[in-house]
Chain A
Amino acid sequence: MKIVVDLAVCQGYAQCAFLAPDAFRIYGEEALLYDPQPDDELRERVVQAAAACPVQAISVERGQR
């Protein structure tokens, strides 16, 4: 699965890093690192993380590829 984070929108709330730590990490105090192509088995967590983002900065490709 592929995802993208709009880093111009991300405010570092870090909800994603709590919900899907294998796909999102906070580096230092506020810099977000993310895996643009996390394993499909992480889909549910990644979708939850995208939904939980207060500023909706995370986009997830729908369906399987």
Chain B
Amino acid sequence: MSGSRPGRVVIVGASLAGLLGAESLRRMGFTGSLTIVGDEPHEPYDRPPLSKAALTDWVPPEHTGLPRLADLGDVDWRLGVAATALDRRAREVVLADGTRLPYDRVLVATGVPTGPGPMPNRRRWRGCGASGPGRIPG
């Protein structure tokens, strides 16, 4: 891909995948408008340290913002408002506050919600991890 590539891209999801998608677009020459939607009020942050360096009080949790590894240029950040619908006919992303964001291309990078895992032997796991990061006994 080379040359100037305009257009409107809306990225739904403002975490690792959304940020890397935005960086890749810019790195590959996308010059159009870039909108990143995230339901959390935070700019993209790094999750693994939350359960390690931040949990052990080594670093404050607000110090976990992800680095910018490419110049993102102008980005319209829509943080703290969830995307609730994708209107493919109108080519618009609909936000929880009713805003409609028109797009030429949309990247859905929302990840998945966390939930209880399939742990048949749940009693065995109880209490693990309560004393800081370490290896859960197999």
Contact = CB atoms under 8 A, between A and B. Distances in A.
B67 A33 contact: no
A2 B66 contact: yes
Nearest to B56: A33
Contact of B133 (A2, A27, A35, A61): A27
Interface string A4-17: 11010000000000
A61 to B, nearest CB: 3
Given A7-B48, A27-B133, A33 B58 contact: yes
B46 interface: yes
Interface residues of A, number: 19
Contacts of B52: 27, 31, 33
B135 interface: yes
B68 A61 contact: yes
Contacts of A36: 46, 49, 53, 59, 63-67
Nearest to A59: B69
A28 B65 contact: no
A60 to B, nearest CB: 7
A7 B52 CA distance: 12
B134 interface: yes
B135 A35 contact: no
A3 interface: yes
Interface string B40-63: 000000101100110010110001
Contact of B67 (A7, A31, A59): A59
Contacts of A35: 49, 53, 58-59, 63
A34 B51 CA distance: 11
Pairs of residues from A and B, 10 with the lowest C-beta to C-beta distance, nearest first: A61-B67, A2-B67, A37-B63, A35-B59, A33-B53, A36-B64, A33-B52, A36-B46, A36-B49, A7-B48
Interface of A: 1-5, 7, 25, 27-28, 31, 33-37, 59-62
